[in-house]
Protein backbone atom coordinates (compact mmCIF):
# COMPACT_ATOMS: atom_id res chain seq x y z
CA UNK A 1 0.00 0.00 0.00
CA UNK A 2 1.40 3.42 -0.99
CA UNK A 3 1.40 6.40 1.26
CA UNK A 4 0.39 9.80 -0.19
CA UNK A 5 3.05 12.48 -0.21
CA UNK A 6 2.96 14.60 2.94
CA UNK A 7 1.91 18.23 2.69
CA UNK A 8 4.86 20.56 2.13
CA UNK A 9 5.98 22.62 5.16
CA UNK A 10 5.48 25.84 3.17
CA UNK A 11 2.54 27.50 1.62
CA UNK A 12 2.73 28.26 -2.09
CA UNK A 13 2.49 31.89 -3.18
CA UNK A 14 -0.16 33.38 -5.48
CA UNK A 15 1.49 31.98 -8.59
CA UNK A 16 1.57 28.45 -7.14
CA UNK A 17 5.34 28.37 -6.52
CA UNK A 18 6.77 28.56 -3.02
CA UNK A 19 8.13 31.96 -2.10
CA UNK A 20 6.61 33.79 -5.06
CA UNK A 21 5.84 37.42 -4.24
CA UNK A 22 2.41 38.89 -3.99
CA UNK A 23 1.32 40.63 -7.22
CA UNK A 24 1.23 44.21 -5.87
CA UNK A 25 1.10 45.28 -2.27
CA UNK A 26 -0.34 48.65 -1.25
CA UNK A 27 3.13 50.17 -0.53
CA UNK A 28 4.27 50.02 -4.15
CA UNK A 29 3.34 52.61 -6.77
CA UNK A 30 0.78 51.56 -9.31
CA UNK A 31 1.01 54.15 -12.08
CA UNK A 32 2.84 57.46 -12.25
CA UNK A 33 3.60 57.73 -8.53
CA UNK A 34 7.35 57.38 -8.00
CA UNK A 35 7.60 58.67 -4.43
CA UNK A 36 7.44 56.02 -1.72
CA UNK A 37 6.06 56.59 1.76
CA UNK A 38 9.33 57.90 3.26
CA UNK A 39 9.62 60.73 0.69
CA UNK A 40 12.82 59.94 -1.25
CA UNK A 41 12.57 59.11 -4.97
CA UNK A 42 13.25 55.53 -6.06
CA UNK A 43 16.94 54.76 -6.62
CA UNK A 44 17.97 57.21 -3.89
CA UNK A 45 18.82 56.24 -0.34
CA UNK A 46 16.53 57.75 2.30
CA UNK A 47 19.30 59.78 3.98
CA UNK A 48 20.87 61.22 0.83
CA UNK A 49 20.14 64.82 -0.09
CA UNK A 50 21.28 64.48 -3.71
CA UNK A 51 21.57 61.49 -6.03
CA UNK A 52 25.06 60.69 -7.39
CA UNK A 53 25.62 62.37 -10.75
CA UNK A 54 29.22 61.44 -11.57
CA UNK A 55 31.43 58.60 -10.35
CA UNK A 56 35.16 58.70 -11.07
CA UNK A 57 36.78 55.67 -9.47
CA UNK A 58 35.99 55.98 -5.77
CA UNK A 59 35.01 59.65 -6.06
CA UNK A 60 31.27 60.33 -6.17
CA UNK A 61 29.92 63.76 -7.12
CA UNK A 62 26.44 65.06 -6.37
CA UNK A 63 25.01 68.54 -7.03
CA UNK A 64 26.43 69.88 -3.76
CA UNK A 65 29.06 67.46 -2.45
CA UNK A 66 32.05 65.26 -3.22
CA UNK A 67 32.31 61.88 -1.49
CA UNK A 68 35.69 60.16 -1.18
CA UNK A 69 36.84 57.35 1.12
CA UNK A 70 37.90 60.09 3.60
CA UNK A 71 34.36 61.48 3.85
CA UNK A 72 31.88 63.87 2.24
CA UNK A 73 32.97 67.43 1.42
CA UNK A 74 31.27 70.43 -0.22
CA UNK A 75 31.62 70.63 -4.00
CA UNK A 76 32.00 74.41 -4.01
CA UNK A 77 35.65 75.46 -4.14
CA UNK A 78 37.04 72.17 -5.43
CA UNK A 79 39.79 72.00 -8.04
CA UNK A 80 39.87 69.09 -10.46
CA UNK A 81 42.89 67.94 -12.50
CA UNK A 82 43.60 65.13 -14.94
CA UNK A 83 47.13 63.95 -15.62
CA UNK A 84 47.76 61.56 -18.49
CA UNK A 85 51.06 59.74 -17.94
CA UNK A 86 50.37 57.14 -20.59
CA UNK A 87 53.28 56.06 -22.79
CA UNK A 88 52.68 54.11 -25.97
CA UNK A 89 55.42 51.91 -27.38
CA UNK A 90 55.14 50.17 -30.72
CA UNK A 91 57.31 47.17 -31.50
CA UNK A 92 57.52 44.08 -33.67
CA UNK A 93 56.38 41.03 -31.68
CA UNK A 94 58.76 38.10 -31.22
CA UNK A 95 56.55 35.63 -33.08
CA UNK A 96 56.60 37.93 -36.15
CA UNK A 97 60.42 37.90 -36.19
CA UNK A 98 60.49 34.11 -35.89
CA UNK A 99 57.95 33.70 -38.71
CA UNK A 100 59.90 36.15 -40.89
CA UNK A 101 63.10 34.15 -40.45
CA UNK A 102 61.38 30.81 -41.09
CA UNK A 103 59.51 31.95 -44.20
CA UNK A 104 62.41 34.03 -45.54
CA UNK A 105 64.26 30.76 -46.15
CA UNK A 106 61.43 29.42 -48.31
CA UNK A 107 60.33 32.58 -50.03
CA UNK A 108 60.75 36.32 -49.66
CA UNK A 109 57.11 36.72 -48.59
CA UNK A 110 58.23 35.93 -45.04
CA UNK A 111 59.58 39.47 -44.80
CA UNK A 112 55.99 40.74 -44.71
CA UNK A 113 55.76 39.42 -41.13
CA UNK A 114 58.09 42.27 -40.14
CA UNK A 115 55.25 44.70 -40.88
CA UNK A 116 53.30 43.40 -37.84
CA UNK A 117 53.24 45.93 -35.00
CA UNK A 118 52.18 45.63 -31.39
CA UNK A 119 51.17 48.60 -29.20
CA UNK A 120 51.86 48.52 -25.46
CA UNK A 121 50.40 51.07 -23.06
CA UNK A 122 52.30 51.85 -19.85
CA UNK A 123 51.78 54.44 -17.15
CA UNK A 124 48.49 55.67 -15.71
CA UNK A 125 45.82 58.35 -15.89
CA UNK A 126 45.40 60.24 -12.62
CA UNK A 127 42.32 62.24 -11.53
CA UNK A 128 42.80 64.55 -8.54
CA UNK A 129 40.28 66.59 -6.57
CA UNK A 130 41.45 69.20 -4.07
CA UNK A 131 39.16 71.20 -1.85
CA UNK A 132 39.01 72.89 1.52
CA UNK A 133 40.61 70.45 3.99
CA UNK A 134 40.84 67.44 1.66
CA UNK A 135 42.85 65.95 -1.20
CA UNK A 136 42.10 62.75 -3.09
CA UNK A 137 43.62 61.14 -6.16
CA UNK A 138 42.53 58.16 -8.25
CA UNK A 139 44.67 56.33 -10.81
CA UNK A 140 43.37 54.40 -13.79
CA UNK A 141 45.25 51.91 -15.99
CA UNK A 142 46.39 53.23 -19.37
CA UNK A 143 44.43 52.65 -22.52
CA UNK A 144 43.41 54.36 -25.73
CA UNK A 145 40.11 55.75 -24.39
CA UNK A 146 40.83 56.17 -20.67
CA UNK A 147 42.30 59.67 -20.88
CA UNK A 148 39.40 61.05 -22.94
CA UNK A 149 36.83 59.42 -20.63
CA UNK A 150 38.54 60.81 -17.51
CA UNK A 151 38.78 64.28 -19.07
CA UNK A 152 35.08 64.25 -19.93
CA UNK A 153 34.13 63.17 -16.40
CA UNK A 154 36.36 65.85 -14.83
CA UNK A 155 34.93 68.52 -17.13
CA UNK A 156 31.44 67.55 -15.96
CA UNK A 157 32.59 67.73 -12.32
CA UNK A 158 34.16 71.14 -12.96
CA UNK A 159 30.90 72.40 -14.42
CA UNK A 160 28.99 71.16 -11.36
CA UNK A 161 31.55 72.79 -9.04
CA UNK A 162 31.21 76.10 -10.89
CA UNK A 163 27.41 76.06 -10.53
CA UNK A 164 27.40 74.87 -6.89
pLDDT in tens, 35-73: 444 444 445 555 555 789 999 999 999 999 999 999 999
Per the document, the length of the chain is 164
**Which pLDDT does position 2 carry in this prediction?**
54
Q: How would you list the strands of the sheet with 65-68, edge to edge?
A: 54-56, 59-61, 65-68, 71-74
pLDDT at 150 exceeding the cut of 70 = yes
> Quick check: 122 and 142 in contact, CB under 8 A?
yes
Given a cut of 70, whether residue 140 has pLDDT beyond it is yes
The 8-class DSSP code of residue 9 comes to S
Domain boundaries, given as residue ranges, for the chain = 54-86+123-163, 92-117
Listed in sequence order, the residues at least 6 apart from 53 whose beta carbon sits closer than 8 Å to its beta carbon are 61, 62, 63, 156, 160
Residue 107 is predicted with a pLDDT of 75
Q: How many CA atoms lie within 13 A of 106 on its CB side?
A: 6
What is the arithmetic mean of pLDDT over 140-163?
A: 92
8-state DSSP, 21: P
Amino acid sequence: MTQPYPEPPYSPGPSGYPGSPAPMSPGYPTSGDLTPAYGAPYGQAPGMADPPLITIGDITVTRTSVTTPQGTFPLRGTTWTVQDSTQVTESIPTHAIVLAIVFAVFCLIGLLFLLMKEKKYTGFVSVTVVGPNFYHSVQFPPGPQVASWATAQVNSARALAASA
